[in-house]
Amino acid sequence: MQLNDFDFELPEALIAQHPLPTRPASRLMVLERAARRVQLARFPDIGQWLTAGDVLVLNDTRVIPARLMGHKDSGGRIEVLLVRRQPGAEETWACLTRCSKTPRPGVRLRFAEGLSAEVLPGGEEPYRLLRFACQDDFSEVLERVGRIPLPPYIRREDSAEDRERYQTVFARHAGAVAAPTAGLHFTPELLAALRAKGVEIHSLTLHVGLGTFLPVRSEDLAGHRMHEENYHIPAATADAVNLAKAEGRRVLALGTTSTRALEYAVDEAGRLKTGEGVCDLFIRPGFRFQIVDGLITNFHLPRSTLLMLVAALAGRDFILDAYRQAVTEGFRFFSYGDCMLIV
């Protein structure tokens, strides 16, 4: 398939710039694949389409305040976005930088509260390697001086509200630079209601990187390379998923990030493996799903890898027809937008 096969018209007014007053206030579009039927509902009604014995797998990554504002020793201003911590290197990160002149190796950068960084050699374009130093714990300082890295299509500065709302209620393991946004709709009460119904809820961790926003530049999809993201599958989650598959019960992924991790960490026998690793799986139409039977997700960018993933699960024509209906019905799109359930 070609990149143009995943285009659709999206009015800019439908791109949600702020969260709704409450997490579950969003709308829900349900796609029933077998019947090729679309139903419209409210998000709190999602339990109508989940049954006892279903396994719901969520991503418990936590977004870090990855935007830093500082200056070079020369005095020039610089903005730094932490993208990915380098394995085995103490507080060395691959970063994006925004300034009047790209900093060269050896340049020192200064931020608030005594936080500094040195630009190191290496780093794959467009990233720079930065080694950070401070007297206090780096994570604690980052929490105080860093800013929430809102997606580029949210055209405003981050606010105090985003500290809470651009984070799921089940976020535990810090490391993401973007939220697993399908999870933003859930409250502890909604999760408890699903458990009371008999839905098993388990977690994995995939630290969402900037690759989720990067455009596909190759017209031929076979030429696109996904960025790597660190993940971890706990033993309890692998055991629950494997038992459900063996017993013919459904496994539903909460978000495209959970989907990628589940479908990447599969062995030759089709069983989910426990442990950690680096995921660079590009799911597009033609992909054979081995774990995921259903998906809870938001509405995605035209021509994006996320749209290609949901099209792989539900079918390209069915998805694009549903997106056109969502536009007509005034659904809100992207991170703070409304939700879709594919079953």
Q: For residues 198 and 56, give the distance between their C-alpha atoms in angstroms, rounded to a whole number.
A: 11
For the chain, the first-to-last Cα distance in angstroms comes to: 24
- CATH number assigned to the domain comprising residue 44: 3.40.1780.10
Q: Are 319 and 325 in contact (CB under 8 A)?
A: no
Q: What is the DSSP string of 292-338?
A: -SEEEEE---TT-HHHHHHHHHH-HHHHHHHHHHHHHTT--BSTTS-
pLDDT digits (tens, 9 = 90+) for 206-252: 999 887 777 888 888 988 888 889 999 999 999 999 999 999 999 99
Q: Read off the DSSP letter of residue 65.
A: -
> Same domain for 242 and 311?
yes
244: Cα within 13 Å, side-chain hemisphere: 26
pLDDT at residue 336 greater than cutoff 90: yes
pLDDT at residue 18 greater than cutoff 90: yes
Query: Mean pLDDT across the chain, nearest whole number?
Result: 95
What does the pLDDT read at residue 284? 96
> Same domain for 333 and 201?
yes
Q: For residues 210 and 222, give the distance between their C-alpha atoms in angstroms, rounded to a whole number.
A: 20
> Same domain for 257 and 293?
yes
> Same domain for 12 and 50?
yes
- Residue showing tokens 């056109």: 324
Give the CA distances from residue 157 to residues 185, 220, 267, in Å, rounded to whole numbers and listed in that order.
22, 35, 43
Give percent of the chain above pLDDT 90: 87
> Same domain for 50 and 24?
yes
- CATH number assigned to the domain comprising residue 125: 2.40.10.240
What residue numbers bound the domain in which 216 lies? Answer: 3-63+163-342
Is 5 in a helix, a strand, or coil? Answer: helix
Query: Among the residues of the chain, which ranges form H helices?
Result: 138-145, 160-165, 188-197, 235-246, 256-264, 305-314, 316-328
Structure tokens at 122: 């290496």
Domains in the chain: how many in total? 2
Q: Are 260 and 228 in contact (CB under 8 A)?
A: no
Residue 154 in any domain: the answer is: no
> Same domain for 182 and 329?
yes
pLDDT digits (tens, 9 = 90+) for 265-298: 999 999 999 999 999 999 999 999 999 999 999 9
pLDDT digits (tens, 9 = 90+) for 168-190: 999 999 999 999 999 999 999 99
What does the pLDDT read at residue 320? 98
Q: For residues 203 and 192, give the distance between their C-alpha atoms in angstroms, rounded to a whole number.
A: 15
> Same domain for 103 and 55?
no
71: Cα within 13 Å, side-chain hemisphere: 6
Q: Are 33 and 318 in contact (CB under 8 A)?
A: yes
Question: What is the enclosing helix (H) or strand (E) of 67?
Answer: strand 67-72
Q: Among 62, 22, 6, 47, which Cα is nearest to 296's? A: 47
Residue 184 in any domain: the answer is: yes
> Same domain for 99 and 196?
no
